[in-house]
Amino acid sequence: MTEDYPPISANSAPGFPDPLRMSLGHADDRLLVDHWMPPQWGIAPRIRIGRHWVNTLWALPISAAALLCLIALAQSLRELPSVGAFIQRHPGIAQSAPAVGSGFPWWLEVQHFLNMFFMLFIMRAGLQILADHPRLYWGRDCTPGTDWFRFQVPVPKGRIWTAKDDSVTLPTWLGIPGLRHTLGLSRWWHFSVNLLWVINGVVFYALLFSTDQWQRLVPLTWDVFPAALSTAIQYASLNFPVDEGWTRYNGLQQLSYFITVFIAAPVSIATGLMQSPAISNKLSWFGRLFNRQAMRSVHFISFAWFVGFILAHGAMVFVTGLRQNTNHMFAGVDNASWVGFPPFLLAMAILILAWLIASPLTIRYARQVQHVGAFMVGRMMGLAERWDPRSQLTEKDISPYFWPNGTMPNSEAFDDLVANKFASYRLRIDGLVERPQEFSLAALKAMPKQEQITTHFCIQGWSGVAKWGGVPMRDILSLVKPMPKARYAVFYSLADGADGGRYYDVHKIENMSHDLTILAYEMNGAPVSVLHGAPLRLRCENELGFKMVKWIAAIEFVHDFADLGAGEGGYNEDHEFYGYRMPI
Ligand SMILES: Nc1nc2c(c(=O)[nH]1)N[C@H]1C(S)=C(S)[C@@H](COP(=O)(O)O)O[C@H]1N2
Ligand SMILES: [Mo]
């Protein structure tokens, strides 16, 4: 069969180690701030209403004015006899709501604290991830102008503007670890702490329902709605409702806690997971219907709910009786002492300390954060790689715009290839294979072509649908015949990465025989452009975009990749602390 292709003798294959291996660069274990991507500040968040972009900062004066009006309104409402009678009838706590007999048990206090502690990391790291593509959309394409939310200027026209160019800086006190395009590290924080938070949540649900505590949170009567309205009027009039927090919550509390615990939290988890290529593909029609961008938008709205909840809840702790509230939640007593106050202060001190050190330590110990994160969640996430992606879309789903990303080739050798239309291009396949070979582009095009319409999931958050045409990797495998000890396929690019040194990425060999793993030379029916990876780029649909090497120079099959580059399994793994297996 090989006779159909240009003869390549195993002897003439240059063999590794060779210039390609040597071209992989050194990478630092710390995030060197001076050496990192130069800062680029975003703008105040804007929301699109129709064709107009509204600056969300307006919300501050508007809500302050609205609050004052609301207070005045609520106070005059309470003067009305009918409203007075309504409040009499619905004092704020649903009359039929059962009273909880167990007060605030110690496990509830511990879990409440852990939840606060975990949320601090999750939310800050989540914001950092958002800042890597500071726009939100509802449609599955990320076509410029179709965003409904952004904290970045409109996409500049008339020049190449990559997704990396679009990322914005966050201050180190806000994001973890702050700076720009540091989502590799924030993802480790986000996912590892999510795991702890989910465990805490599962234990919380279990204890809640095995005791009488669930009755605090779950409304058991329709009465909760008039009770909530009544409480809202009472709070707004600054004449607070009766507080029976030791045994049961008022309507407004119950509804907001219920939404937070039983709606916002599960929605966050589901919409987070559905942004993953492997999970979205696995869910097939469901993943296509609830596309990544819609899920990312809902994930953000749920985040906004948490921010609002935490601000309101935190303020209420202070204004509705700090001593009593801290006694309940930090000492589990309902008396006139101050025993809950010192543990409350201690909890706040721990939170503030954690807040202060999270970013500096992440910057200083970036490699360790990457490794601990991979230890905590990497293996579990990697399991999703086993799913063979088969989910495809249709021609009409193809995105009108597909963000370009990465560092373009910049060498005379590449320019020469472009000039001769890749006639002199050779794909070298070498390493632990029985038949090392070189393929010209013509030879690859002469092989059976596979076409697929798939969604590209960039780690930064954007996605796009394109039709790709190329040679299935499984056909290449059957030609070159990897040896049994070959466990990984290394893809070397013709281009360098952003930080110098050659771009490369390593895949498990299992990924290579998935149905939709191809070496693509066509995009949307035309030869793939230089911008998108000409002459050849990898499509491996259950991974995030950075693992799909563009401008492929060679593929080497290896037993281990520890001796390549910084040994993390790829260029962005080495330099930007990404994970080596990233199906999620
Ligand atoms: N050689 C090389 N390949 C690369 C990159 C790069 O910087 N260099 N960027 C990766 C990233 S992060 C993404 S999202 C995709 C982008 O592909 P596109 O430009 O076709 O959208 O290419 C990947 N392949
Ligand atoms: Mo990417």
- Tell me the per-residue pLDDT of 292-345, one tens digit each, with 9 for 90 and over: 999 999 999 999 999 999 999 999 999 999 999 999 999 999 999 999 999 999
Cα 304 to ligand 2 centre (Å): 25
Could you tell me if 75 and 134 lie in one domain?
yes
Could you tell me if 234 and 371 lie in one domain?
yes
Q: Quote the pLDDT of residue 407.
A: 96
Cα 163 to ligand 2 centre (Å): 8
Q: Which residue has the tokens 């992606």?
A: 389
Indicate the residue among 328, 354, 384 that finishes a domain.
384
Cα separation, 347 vs 330, in Å, equals 9
In this structure, are residues 535 and 528 in contact, taking their beta carbons and an 8 Å threshold?
Answer: yes
Mutate to test the pocket of ligand 1, among 548, 571, 573, 578 (most ligand atoms within 8 A of CB): 548
Cα separation, 49 vs 302, in Å, equals 20
Task: Kindly state the tokens that stand for 539.
Answer: 């499509």
Q: What is the DSSP letter of 147?
A: -
Q: Quote the pLDDT of residue 42.
A: 98
Whether 285 is covered by a domain: the verdict is yes
In this structure, are residues 5 and 446 in contact, taking their beta carbons and an 8 Å threshold?
Answer: yes
Handedness of CA 110, 113, 118, 119 (dihedral sign): positive
Cα separation, 13 vs 8, in Å, equals 7
Give the C-alpha distances (Å, rounded to integers) separating 564 from 98, 431, 484, 559, 583: 64, 13, 20, 11, 22
Cis peptide before 17 (omega within 30 of 0): yes
Could you tell me if 234 and 335 lie in one domain?
yes
Task: Kindly state the tokens that stand for 140.
Answer: 């599955």
The model scores a pTM over 0.85 = yes
Could you tell me if 230 and 357 lie in one domain?
yes
Could you tell me if 380 and 428 lie in one domain?
no
State the angle between helix axes of 183-210 and 106-130 in degrees (0 to 180), rounded to the nearest 10. Answer: 150
Could you give the count of Cα atoms lying within 13 Å of 395 in the half-sphere of its Cβ? 1
Q: How many domains does the chain have?
A: 2
Indicate the residue among 339, 358, 384 that finishes a domain.
384
Cα separation, 548 vs 511, in Å, equals 12
Task: Kindly state the tokens that stand for 271.
Answer: 């919409």
Look at ligand 1, atom 18, and give the residue with the nearest C-alpha. 404
Could you tell me if 495 and 520 lie in one domain?
yes
Residues with CB under 6 A from ligand 1: 402-407, 458, 493, 495, 497, 503, 532-533, 545-546, 548-551
Query: 136: part of which helix (H) or strand (E)?
Result: strand 135-136
Mutate to test the pocket of ligand 1, among 143, 405, 456 (most ligand atoms within 8 A of CB): 405
Could you tell me if 348 and 454 lie in one domain?
no
Look at ligand 1, atom 9, and give the residue with the nearest C-alpha. 406
Q: What is the CA radius of gyration of the chain?
A: 28
Cα separation, 295 vs 301, in Å, equals 10
Query: 523: part of which helix (H) or strand (E)?
Result: strand 518-523
Whether 41 is covered by a domain: the verdict is no
- Closest atom of ligand 1 to 495 CA is 1
Compute CA 423 distance to the chain's CA centroid, rounded to the nearest angstrom.
40
Q: Backbone phi, then psi, for 466, in 5-degree steps? A: -145, 160
In this structure, are residues 74 and 237 in contact, taking their beta carbons and an 8 Å threshold?
Answer: yes
Whether 2 is covered by a domain: the verdict is no
Cβ density class 495-514: b for 16+ within 10 Å, e for less: bbbebebbbbbbbebebbeb
In this structure, are residues 491 and 549 in contact, taking their beta carbons and an 8 Å threshold?
Answer: yes
Q: β-strand 526-527 against 537-539: which pairing, if any? A: unpaired
Could you tell me if 353 and 452 lie in one domain?
no
Q: Backbone phi, then psi, for 191, in 5-degree steps? A: -75, -40
Whether 428 is covered by a domain: the verdict is yes
pLDDT beneath 50: ranges in the chain: 1-14, 16
Indicate the residue among 363, 384, 405 that finishes a domain.
384
Could you tell me if 325 and 292 lie in one domain?
yes
Cα 201 to ligand 2 centre (Å): 32
The residues that bridge with 490 in the sheet, in sequence order, are: 506, 556
Look at ligand 1, atom 10, and give the residue with the nearest C-alpha. 546
Could you tell me if 394 and 248 lie in one domain?
no
Q: Backbone phi, then psi, for 352, in 5-degree steps? A: -65, -40
Could you tell me if 135 and 80 lie in one domain?
yes
Domain extent for 126 = 46-167+184-384
Look at ligand 1, atom 21, and give the residue with the nearest C-alpha. 404
CATH number (domain holding residue 563): 3.90.420.10
Cα 430 to ligand 1 centre (Å): 23
Question: What is the three-class DSSP state of 502?
Answer: strand
In this structure, are residues 129 and 175 in contact, taking their beta carbons and an 8 Å threshold?
Answer: no
Mutate to test the pocket of ligand 1, among 143, 550, 573 (most ligand atoms within 8 A of CB): 550
Could you tell me if 374 and 393 lie in one domain?
no
Cα separation, 144 vs 155, in Å, equals 6
Cis peptide before 177 (omega within 30 of 0): yes
Q: Quote the pLDDT of residue 17.
A: 56
Q: Quote the pLDDT of residue 4.
A: 41
Look at ligand 1, atom 23, and give the residue with the nearest C-alpha. 546
Q: Quote the pLDDT of residue 122.
A: 98
Whether 236 is covered by a domain: the verdict is yes
- Closest atom of ligand 1 to 551 CA is 1
